[in-house]
Structure 1
Amino acid sequence: MNKIIGMGLILISISCQSKEKKSIQPVTEPVKMEVEKNLEVATFAGGCFWCTEAVFLELDGVKSVVSGYIGGAIANPTYEEVSRGDTGHAEATQITFDPKKISYGELLEIFFATHDPTTLNRQGADVGTQYRSEVFYNNEEQKKITEDYIALMTSENTFGKPIVTKVSPAPKFYPAEDYHQNYYSRNQNQSYCSYVITPKVKKVKEQFKDKLKK
C-alpha cells in the first residue's frame, strides 16, 4: 500500500470546513440497526464525508452510502454544530454492502488506502476532531478484523508513521442533511471536489479495478 501523499500548498485554502475543536466525551453505547436481510453495514470516519462517500459508491457490492455524524455527545447534530467542533461527532459514512460481493475486509483495505490514518484529527487542510480517523465497528467480528489489520500494517510499517485510527463500538449514526448526500457526483467542478476528491476516486479506479461497479 502506498503512503498517502498530500496535495501540497494548494490545499491550505481548500477544505471541507475547518473549525476550532473542543474535547467532548462521546457516547459509546452500541446501537442495533435494522439492515436488509443478507446485507451488512460498515461505518468509517476518515475526513470529510464527501470524500469517503464518493470512494465507496464506486464499489461493486455496495448498495448505499450515507454521509452523516457519529461518536458525539448530542442527538441530531447539524452540520454547523459538528463543523464548529461543538458536538464531538465525526463526519462519517455508513456503508450498506453485500458480503457475497465485497467483504468487510476489502472495504477496510480501501478505507485505509484512501485517507491518511497517521494524522491526528486532520485530513489535509481539514482540521478538527470531526475529521478524525476512526472505525466504528457494528459487531465483534468487525472489531477483530479491524484490530488485526491495523496490527498488520503497524508491524509492516505501511505508512512510515504510527497509525492513529481509533476503533470504537458504533453508537447511533445520524444522517447528514440532504445536500451532503451524493455530494461529489453533483459538484465535481467545485474546487474541493476537483483537488481533493477526484484524486481519491481515480486512485480507487486504478488500484481496485476488480472491485468496481460494472
Structure 2
Amino acid sequence: MASETATLGGGCFWCLEAVYQEAKGVQHVENGYTGGQVPNPTYEQVCNGNTGHAEVVQVVFDPDVISYREILEIFFTIHDPTTPNRQGNDVGTQYRSAIYYHTPQQQETAKQVMAEMAHVWDAPLVTELEPLGDYYKAEDYHQNYFRQHPLQGYCAFVVAPKVQKFRKTFKDRLTTA
C-alpha cells in the first residue's frame, strides 16, 4: 500500500487529529511538534510559547485514495487560516496555521491550494508554508485524544463541532461512507 505524509498545524492538534482519523484513505494520524528550536520539547514547554514549535498532526495517507490536495482542502475547511497565532480561544504561536511540506511537489500543491483558498476567505491567509524540519511526537496522552475523551469539555465544545463540520461538508470522504 502506498503512503505519503502531510504535516499540518491548524490550532490544537486534537481537532485536526479527530477529523483526519475519519477521512477515507488516511492510514494513521499522529500529534506532534515542529517548527521550533528546542530539541524534544514537552507539551508544557510548547504551551509556554518559548520554543517556537507549532502543534501539528502528521497525516499518513494513501495517495491512491485521498490526494494531498484533498488533505489540504479539508485542512482549510476545518480551521481559520486568517488568524495569526490563534484558533478561537487558543492563542499563541503554537496554534499558528502552517503547512510543513515534505517534497517539492507538496510545496507546489500547497501554493496552488493556498492561492485558491485566498479567494474563499474574507481576510488574507496567514498560513505559513515551510519545509518540514525536526518533528517530535507529542506525549502518548495526546494521541487519539478525542476518541478517548469525547465528553471532556474542550473536546465537546471545540473538537466535536469541527468533526461535525467535516462529516457534513465531506460526506463522500468519510471512512464510514
TM-score (norm. length: structure 2): 0.98
Equivalent in the alignment of 1:120: 84
Cα deviations across residues 108-143 of structure 1 (Å, max 9, x unaligned)?
Answer: 000000000000000000000000000000000110
2:143 is the counterpart of 1:181: yes
Out of 66, 70, 77, the residue aligned to residue 106 of structure 1 is 70
Secondary structure of residue in 1 paired with 2:8: strand
Secondary structure of residue in 2 paired with 1:69: strand
Query: What does 1:11-30 correspond to in 2, within 5 Å?
Result: none
Out of 166, 174, 177, the residue aligned to residue 212 of structure 1 is 174
The structural deviation recorded for 1:146 is 0.6
Out of 191, 195, 203, the residue aligned to residue 157 of structure 2 is 195
Out of 89, 104, 129, the residue aligned to residue 93 of structure 2 is 129
Structure 1 distance, partners of 2:82, 2:132, is 21
Larger radius of gyration: 1
Q: Percent of counterpart pairs with the same letter?
A: 52
Structure 2 distance, partners of 1:105, 1:153, is 12
Secondary structure of residue in 2 paired with 1:76: coil
2:88 is the counterpart of 1:88: no
The structural deviation recorded for 1:81 is 0.3
Give ranges in structure 1 of 5+ residues lacking alignment. 1-36
Equivalent in the alignment of 1:30: none
Count, aligned residues: 176
Secondary structure of residue in 1 paired with 2:126: coil
Equivalent in the alignment of 1:63: 27
Cα deviations across residues 74-109 of structure 1 (Å, max 9, x unaligned)?
Answer: 110000000001200000000100001100000000
Structure 2 distance, partners of 1:169, 1:61, is 24
Secondary structure of residue in 1 paired with 2:24: coil
Structure 1 distance, partners of 2:38, 2:143, is 21
- Which stretches of structure 1, 4 residues or longer, exceed 2 Å deviation after superposition? none
Equivalent in the alignment of 1:163: 125
Equivalent in the alignment of 2:2: 38
Out of 98, 106, 114, the residue aligned to residue 150 of structure 1 is 114
Equivalent in the alignment of 1:48: 12
